[in-house]
Amino acid sequence: MVRASYLVFGTLAYLIFFATFLYLVAFVIDLPLAPLTVDHGGPVVAVWQAMPIDLCLIALFGLQHSVMARPRFKAAWTRIIPEPIERSIYVLLASIMLMILFRFWYPIPVMIW
């Protein structure tokens, strides 16, 4: 029964990842069907206001990704959660970080590069 619940959880985590990844593609290429994209959809503010927020969102994703990938963190983490679902939780949390980035992203109204 426990193995089946791990399988269901892992499947759900990877389905959420797949949906998040598809939205990431739409977000980055500014697909018109996506309500929020890198260039449109969020509140428009001055560049000096948007850049620090956007950089913090990118850093938040990177920090989560980097910290949870470290062997030392994994060793401590698997004492708390079962090892068979450690990777699924990592994938789920990375997807959640991307969702937070999508939701709170501020489009920058000028060309940066």
Q: Over the stretch 17-35, which tens digit does the pLDDT of each residue have?
A: 999 999 999 999 999 889 9
Q: pLDDT band for 105, please (50, 70, 90 cuts).
A: very high
Distance of alpha carbon 79 from alpha carbon 108, whole angstroms: 43
Angle at 69 between CA 76 and CA 88, to 5 degrees: 85
pLDDT for the residue 40: 87
User: Do 30 and 40 contact (CB within 8 A), yes or no?
Assistant: yes
Scanning the structure block, which residue is given the tokens 């969102």?
Answer: 57
Distance of alpha carbon 102 from alpha carbon 75, whole angstroms: 31
- Count Cβ neighbours within 10 Å for each residue of 61-76 and write b for 16 or more, e otherwise: beebeeebeeeeeeee
pLDDT for the residue 110: 75
Provide the residue type at 45 as one letter: V
